[in-house]
A and B are shown apart, each in its own frame.
Chain A
Amino acid sequence: MELYCLGIESTADDFAVGITTFNGKILANIISAYVPMEGGIHPRKAARHHARVASRVIEESLKNAGIKPRNLSIIAFSQGPGLGPCLRTGATVARTLASYLGIPLVGVNHCVAHIEIGKLKTDVEDPVTLYVSGGNTIVSAFDSGRYRVFGETLDIALGNCLDVFAREAGLHQSVGEPFGAVVERYAAKGKRLIPLPYTVKGMDMSFSGLLTAAISLLKRGEHKLEDLCYSLQETVFSMVTEVTERALAHTEKEEVLLTGGVAANKRLQSMIRSMAEEHDAEFCVMPKEFAVDNGAMIAWTGVLAYKYGVVTPIEESVVKLKWRLEEVEVLWVK
């Protein structure tokens, strides 16, 4: 008999549900994005969106997977890190489902899930992972039982830096186009590099000063918007590539995995690929469907953990807003 896990992801603006088998077959992966009328993500408004769409997304996932709720063996949910109201909404849905069906609940770390789905969907086995999104910027690799953080942002995430700049600049989005993609489109037409602060401190990066500098240049109106986008991209991508390179040289791993929403950017891909080639390392980029926040990654990581005896009793299922990647014991990797 096939065993199934349903995973719920709700760390930020997406409410997503995925269903996988215990053998890693992905049967459903549905994402419902909360799109604000203006500005960034308002946590409570996003949470309201999640609550509204939850039952529809779950029903649709079960339909896609061709199974009934009673066929599920476990429920996995992203327990952190993320925005409080969003996380709590997903957790509430997960607890309800698990107790109603009388099956185990497994709390999953969102960052671990990004790495695990990468290992499932690409050829990598033991990579240095660069995870870049609107909420996270983390360079990690497995060592002694955990995914260790080798470098990260000291302030805002790289994707957030691009988003805020795009909003400040009033860049025009076509329907459904993420801000990062708009910046990429403008940057492709830029030619002139405008100096911006390049802040790598040891293994860590800082983007907030750079963002402020870029916005003040924008407001002065002396530069072409295309050149500013180009300079912004070149600078922030060079920074993350440098930190990823340091981690690769230090760990002597042979693979690099690029994931997260920003992984879709072609310029970032080409930089990481070029760096990996210089170190004779294999480069893998996640397909977009599984690079962005998704439910399949939560379901699959829930399966891996559950097989090693991890269950999260309801009374311990409180969400962890600042749950760090390296706090998780990764029992399933040897």
Chain B
Amino acid sequence: MGEMKQSVLMKKGAEASLYLADWHDRKVIMKKRLPKKYRLPELDKQVKTYRTIHEPKLIHEAKKAGVPTPTIFLVDVESATIIMEYIEGKQVKKLLSKTSRSERQHICLEIGELIGKLHRYGIIHGDLTTSNMILNSEGKIFFVDFGLGEKSKELEARGVDLHLMKRALQSTHFRFAEECFSTVIEGYSKMLSSENVKNILGKIKEIEKRGRYIAEREGD
């Protein structure tokens, strides 16, 4: 994997740990999937290998769909580690509630367009929260963490994806949640046919009625 200096643990999730590191004079993110003691070693390896290969693939495909994502530098299957570009910028989560109304609308419109591009291309992000979106100094929004992503064009998958976005807005930016989400949908609608959008919105309503996902994002 080459020389790695000064790695700092940024986030410890249930499945993987994220480190900020210096790698060949570059600031990088190192995502390492941890071994699970409860799984048989050979099964553990099989699962981690699949995901370590699958996630960079989705990140790469998202680029083809026109969605900015970190560049993948190295995938080391043996240690279940992905080394990728560190996106210099701010988490949308940290600025959305503080910025001006017009800026907020601009960001939400952009987010909606990006989700629309992903879905049009058949990619489901799987964890659309404003903490997984980074705004850089040039005003470009990057999507990160495709660890729960999948390839799908199904209505259900798209609906759940957007519903998670809505929930994330409600829990983190509750004062503007409604305004933000309708702007996200406005951006999203530019990317898919009106028939498609209508069906997806109906699906979101159905998902909400089922009552699940409700409190999942609180505290995120």
Which residues of A pack against B, CB within 8 Å? 143-144, 146, 148-150, 193, 195, 198, 201-203, 234-235, 238, 241-242, 245-246, 248-250, 270-272, 274-275, 278, 324, 326-327
* Distance in angstroms between the alpha carbons of A222 and B77 in the assembled complex: 30
Cβ of B46 under 8 Å from chain A: yes
Which residues of B pack against A, CB within 8 Å? 13-15, 36-40, 42-43, 46-47, 50, 126-127, 148, 150, 160, 210-212, 214-216, 218
* Distance in angstroms between the alpha carbons of A275 and B37 in the assembled complex: 7
**Interchain residue pairs A-B with the least CB separation, the first 5:** A249-B14, A143-B215, A271-B38, A274-B38, A326-B211
With A193-B42, A275-B38 as contacts: A144 and B14 at CB distance below 8 Å: no
From B14, B43, B127, B214, A198 is in contact (CB under 8 Å) with B43
Q: Is the CB of A202 within 8 A of B126?
A: yes
Nearest chain-B residue to A201 (Cβ)?
B150
Q: Is the CB of A234 within 8 A of B40?
A: yes
Could you jot down 8 A-B contacts, CB within 8 Å? A144-B215, A203-B216, A234-B39, A238-B39, A242-B15, A249-B13, A271-B38, A326-B212
Nearest chain-A residue to B34 (Cβ)?
A278
Q: Is the CB of B46 within 8 A of A148?
A: no
Q: Is the CB of B38 within 8 A of A238?
A: yes
Nearest chain-B residue to A252 (Cβ)?
B219
* Distance in angstroms between the alpha carbons of A5 and B10 in the assembled complex: 53
* Distance in angstroms between the alpha carbons of A274 and B40 in the assembled complex: 12
With A235-B43, A275-B38, A278-B37 as contacts: A150 and B216 at CB distance below 8 Å: yes
A205 to chain B, nearest CB (A): 13
Nearest chain-B residue to A270 (Cβ)?
B38
Q: Is the CB of A148 within 8 A of B215?
A: yes
With A202-B148, A275-B38 as contacts: A234 and B43 at CB distance below 8 Å: yes
Q: Is the CB of A324 within 8 A of B13?
A: no
Nearest chain-B residue to A150 (Cβ)?
B216
B218 to chain A, nearest CB (A): 7
* Distance in angstroms between the alpha carbons of A282 and B118 in the assembled complex: 41
Neighbouring B residues of A193 by C-beta, 8 Å:
40, 42-43
* Distance in angstroms between the alpha carbons of A193 and B40 in the assembled complex: 9
Nearest chain-B residue to A241 (Cβ)?
B38
Nearest chain-B residue to A268 (Cβ)?
B38
Nearest chain-B residue to A246 (Cβ)?
B14
Nearest chain-A residue to B37 (Cβ)?
A274
Neighbouring A residues of B40 by C-beta, 8 Å:
193, 234, 238
A326 to chain B, nearest CB (A): 5
A234 to chain B, nearest CB (A): 5
Q: Is the CB of A324 within 8 A of B39?
A: no
Nearest chain-B residue to A238 (Cβ)?
B39
Neighbouring B residues of A149 by C-beta, 8 Å:
212
With A238-B43, A274-B38 as contacts: A324 and B210 at CB distance below 8 Å: yes
Neighbouring B residues of A242 by C-beta, 8 Å:
15, 36
B33 to chain A, nearest CB (A): 12
A59 to chain B, nearest CB (A): 39
* Distance in angstroms between the alpha carbons of A201 and B149 in the assembled complex: 8
Nearest chain-A residue to B217 (Cβ)?
A250
B39 to chain A, nearest CB (A): 5
Q: Is the CB of A198 within 8 A of B215?
A: no
Neighbouring A residues of B36 by C-beta, 8 Å:
238, 241-242, 245, 275
